[in-house]
Amino acid sequence: PPQAFTPPPKVYSAVVKLTPHRPCVDDFINFQKFTAMLFSQRRRLVRRLCPEAGLDKRVYQLDVEEVAELFKKCRF
C-alpha cells in the first residue's frame, strides 16, 4: 500500500510470482512448428488438417489441451 512509503507514491504496486509448468508435450521444438502451421490457417476446420483427430472445430476454437492432443495424434 502507498501508506507504507514516505512520501507515499500515487500508484499501487504488487509482486507477482510466476511458477513455470511442465511442458504439455515432449517435443517442444516441433510443437512450436506445428502450432505455427496450425494457426496460419486458423479459420480452417481441424478435421481438414488432421482427420485422425475427429474434431469438428475451427483452429481458433481449440483450447491448449486440445492443441496438445492434436499434436500427439497427428505427429507433425
3-class state of residue 14 by DSSP: coil
Q: Per-residue pLDDT for 1 more than 80?
A: no
Answer yes or no: is 15 within a domain: no
Q: What is the CATH number of the domain that holds 64?
A: 1.10.8.100
What mean pLDDT do residues 4-27 have?
86
Number of domains in the chain: 1
Domain of 28 in residue numbering reads as: 23-76
pLDDT in tens, 35-58: 998 889 878 888 888 888 888 899
Predicted TM-score of the model (pTM)? 0.62
Confidence of residue 76 (pLDDT cuts 50, 70, 90): low
